[in-house]
Structure 1
């Protein structure tokens, strides 16, 4: 009974509206960088393409 609170919890998982990947509720999507339909961060793949375009110009 001493460690009855240490059981494993199953976290709820939602689906990103933009890309369809699994994500935690009330968190941004780590794949596309969107939260509630708006862009929050630039992902690694987008950063790579921006760097490539910058080098070509």
Structure 2
């Protein structure tokens, strides 16, 4: 098994770990509901992506269930 001959200096250790920091994710706004969401992702609040409806949200699903029970 390989064993290091010398102790790594603090400078070299910190230079190696310079890329391990936490990155801040960019945040955009939804064009439909103006909520904050990640760019190139669908909006979790309204279910739109790039100007078209992609999924049915939980709130819409609940209202559909209520409408079917009433009628």
TM class by shorter chain equals over 0.9
Q: Hey, what does 1:35 align to over in structure 2?
A: 49
Count of matched residue positions in the alignment of Structure 1 and Structure 2 = 57
Q: TM-score, normalised by structure 1?
A: 0.93
Q: Which structure has more helix as a fraction of its residues?
A: 2
- What RMSD, in angstroms, separates the aligned Cα atoms of the two structures? 0.8
Structure number with greater CO (CA < 8 Å, separation at least 6) is 1
Gaps of 5+ in 2: 1-13
Q: TM-score, normalised by structure 2?
A: 0.76
User: Of 17, 30, 33, which residue of structure 2 is paired with 1:3?
Assistant: 17
